[in-house]
Structure 1
C-alpha cells in the first residue's frame, strides 16, 4: 500500500485522514499469469495499481491476429480508463504477462473518493494523464525499421525483455517471432 500512496502523492497533497480513506477503499489482489484484469466485450469495473508484475494491453485485429498494444509494469496505474469512465464495453484485453500483485479500486470506491476527498479529481486527472502519456509515448513507431523499434523497446522497457513472452514482444513490435529472434542475435 505504501507504493500506491507514494505514487498518488507525486500528483498532489493529502492529509492523513484522506490517505486512510484511500487505503480503506483499496483491496490488494493477486492476478495469475495469463489471467485478465479486464476483457474485451465487458465494461471495465476496476482501477488497478501494479505493485509487482507486468500486464499487457492487447486486442484482435480484423484478421483475428492478437496484437500487443502496450505493457504496464510496477508503480503504474492499469485501467482501460476511457471505457471505465464512460461505462462502456472495452475493445481490448488487459492480461497478466507474469504473476501480479495489484491494489485495486472498484468503480464505486473510486468514485466515492471523488465525492469525499477535496482535490481528488485534480490528483486523479494528473495520474490518468501520466498513465495515458506513458502508453502513447512508448508505442513503437511503425516507420522505423524493426531493429530500431526493438532497441527503443529495450530503452523504454529495460526490465521487460526477460519477463514477458517473446511472442508478445514481437506482436508489440509488429514483427514475427523469427524476425525478432534474428534481431536479438544480431544485436548480441
Structure 2
C-alpha cells in the first residue's frame, strides 16, 4: 500500500485523512499469469496499480495476429483509461504476463474520490497522463531495424527480458520469435 501512496504523492499533496480515505477504497487482487485485468469487447470497470508482476497491453490485428503494445510493471497504473472514462468497450486486452498482485479501485470508488478530495482531479489527471504516455511512448519504431528495436527494448525495459515470454517480446518488436532468437544470439 505504501508504494501506491508514494506513487500518488508524486503528483500532489494529500493529508493523512485523504490518504486514509484513498486506502479505504482499494482492494488487493491477484492475477495468475495469462489472466485478464480487462478484455476487448468489455467496458473497463477498474483502475489498477501494479504491486508485483508485469501486465501487457495487447490486441489482435486484422489478420488475427496478437500484437503486444506495451508492458506495465511494478509501481505503475494499469487501466484502459479512455474506455474506462467513456464507459465504452475496449479494443484491447490487459493481460498478466506474470503472476501479478494489484491494488484496484472500482469505477465508483475512483469517481467518488473526485467528489470527496479537493485537488484529486488534478492528481488523477497527472497520473493518467503518465499512464497514457508510458503506453504510447514505449511502442517500438517500426522503421528501425529489428536489432535496434530490441536494444531499445532492453534500454526501456531492462528487467523484463527474463520475466516475460519471448513470444510477447517478439510481438512487441514486430518480429518473429525465430528472428528475436537470432538477434539475441548475435548481440551477446
Q: Which residue of 2 aligns with 1:183?
A: 183
Structure 1: give runs of 5+ residues left out of the alignment: none
SS in 2 for 1:89: coil
Q: Which residue of 2 aligns with 1:74?
A: 74
Q: Which residue of 2 aligns with 1:145?
A: 145
Question: Residues of 2 paired with 1:105 and 1:132: CA distance?
Answer: 18
CA deviations on 1:126-170 (whole Å, 9 max, x unpaired) are 000011111211110011000000000000000000000000000
Structure 2: give runs of 5+ residues left out of the alignment: none
Q: Which residue of 2 aligns with 1:105?
A: 105
Question: Residues of 1 paired with 2:47 and 2:58: CA distance?
Answer: 17
Q: Which residue of 2 aligns with 1:92?
A: 92
SS in 1 for 2:125: helix
Aligned structure 1 segments of 4 or more residues deviating by more than 6 angstroms? none
Q: Which residue of 1 aligns with 2:155?
A: 155
Question: Residues of 2 paired with 1:107 and 1:135: CA distance?
Answer: 21
Question: Residues of 1 paired with 2:33 and 2:177: CA distance?
Answer: 20
Normalised by the length of structure 1, the TM-score is 0.99
Question: Residues of 2 paired with 1:47 and 1:179: CA distance?
Answer: 36
Q: Which residue of 2 aligns with 1:169?
A: 169
CA deviations on 1:41-83 (whole Å, 9 max, x unpaired) are 0000000000000000000000000000000000000000000
Q: Which residue of 2 aligns with 1:132?
A: 132
Question: Residues of 1 paired with 2:59 and 2:137: CA distance?
Answer: 19
